[in-house]
Structure 1
Amino acid sequence: MKITIFSLSLFWFFFGIGSTEEKRLLLNDPQQMQSEIHALQQEVEHFRVLAAEFQAQKQEMADLKQRFELLESSSKKYGSIYTRWGKHSCPKLNGTELVYEGTAGGSHYSEKGNGANTLCLPHDPELLPDHFPLSSNPLTSFGFGHIYGGEYEFSLKNMALNDDVPCAVCHVKMATSSMMIPAKQSCPTRWIKQYSGILTSNYYSYSKLEYLCVDEDPDFIERSRQDENGRLFYPVRGVCGSLSCPPYKNESMLSCVVCTM
């Protein structure tokens, strides 16, 4: 009796739209019933297959998430470093993060010694104590090198002449190389642009210093705008001759761009 009631309920659910005579015909037709039962079994098996596929995809997604987390964790140990001159911060790009910010420092524009490169000096230095035990050559006087802060020797947007030059050291997690390209504002194919700007150097008649790319929207360090000199940043102009014109133009200022891959 239970089986008959169950069968009637089941077929009423699936075939409740037809007439009473049609229902009786279906219930009294063993072949039709067998066909419908077989169809239901196929549907159930189909849903079982879908459920298994769903579980497999769910597991695959979990595996991919785990692999991504491992790669993200590993990427923090690698990557590429560059300095963004003229800014307090790094570009707002995916995978680029600030290591530290500071102020540009280097050799005085008129001194022949010291270091030739420019440094990004942190705002929170950990200085050596005054009594640090240094030894000197007994045959010569004890000497030192010097490092000075950097100043702009031009004005642009919110920055003015003699403002101190900030800098930011940036880490690009998903990169292995970085480069500065002079006289360009865009990067080669497959390279990512970090920032573009103005090519700078020391004044042409002063001591040699490296060429650096200052951001096209430069910041400045909040302080007095006194002319204290130090490591000076001048815009660079091209000079025709051994430098082909065109494509270069005589006395035109040069751009620059920093790219990573």
Structure 2
Amino acid sequence: MSLASAVYTRWGRTECESTAELVYEGIVGGGWYASEGSASNPLCLVREPKWNRYDDAVSNAAWIFGTEYRLPLDQFRLENPTKFQAANMPCSVCRTASRSTVIMVPGRNDCFKGWTLEYQGYLMAGHYSHKMASEYICVDEAPEATEAGFRDELGQTFFLVEASCGSLPCPEYVHGREITCAVCSK
């Protein structure tokens, strides 16, 4: 029996591939898109939080908001693409049973030889003109939306990442083309 395992977040989906165990499925949360002081990393929040001590009065604190897709309506293979513009993003935390390393490979939709594909998708991040910094994440190529979204409330927003030629080598990269990604384990 192998004791090796690794954990990764599958952004944009509520389940794991058949080779991984679902730890939990949740909703993506992050800082406000226009804030200069927000945390930059998105989190996969549990759907049913448990509270300890708390004070419901608004205070001088850090805040976390829901995360919304900002997608060209025909980019992904979606049954109803219009419902994804400003929809809230789900996530799942997955555990591999027999592999101890997980990497996200930007610029590829497959894995290097000897690695196992957990999922493939598109690189997404906050908009370049927004004040809030963000991380690059690999969002599943066939994303889902949460049932609580669709109100265009902003919060953290994720856009497709496109190549910008200049310091990136072109023609290997193509100016304005959306960057793929793969999450791989070994």
Q: Which amino acid aligns with 1:100?
A: Y
C-alpha displacement of 1:223: 2.8
Equivalent positions of 1:211-230 (< 5 A) are 211-230=136-155
Equivalent positions of 1:1-261 (< 5 A) are 71=1, 75=3, 78-93=4-19, 96-130=20-54, 143-154=60-71, 155=73, 156=76, 157-158=78-79, 159=81, 160-206=84-130, 207-261=132-186
C-alpha displacement of 1:131: 5.1
C-alpha displacement of 1:115: 1.5
In the superposition, the TM-score normalised over structure 1's length comes to: 0.65
C-alpha displacement of 1:114: 2.6
Q: Which amino acid aligns with 1:147?
A: I
Q: Which amino acid aligns with 2:26?
A: G
More helix by share: 1
In 2: Cα distance, 1:143 partner to 1:108 partner: 15
> Using CA pairs below 8 Å that are at least 6 residues apart, which structure has the higher relative contact order?
2
More strand by share: 2
Alignment gaps of 5+ in structure 1? 1-70, 133-141
Count of residues paired in the alignment: 176
Question: Larger Cα Rg: Structure 1 or Structure 2?
Answer: 1
Question: SS at the partner of 1:193?
Answer: strand
In 2: Cα distance, 1:131 partner to 1:230 partner: 22
C-alpha displacement of 1:246: 1.1
Alignment gaps of 5+ in structure 2? none
Question: SS at the partner of 2:7?
Answer: strand
How large is the RMSD of aligned CA atoms in angstroms?
Answer: 1.5
Q: Which amino acid aligns with 1:152?
A: Y
In 2: Cα distance, 1:224 partner to 1:100 partner: 20
How far does the alpha carbon of each residue in 1:40-89 deviate from its partner, in whole angstroms, 9 at most, with x for none?
Answer: xxxxxxxxxxxxxxxxxxxxxxxxxxxxxxx15xx3xx410000000000
C-alpha displacement of 1:143: 2.6
In the superposition, the TM-score normalised over structure 2's length comes to: 0.90
* Runs of 4+ with >3 A deviation: none
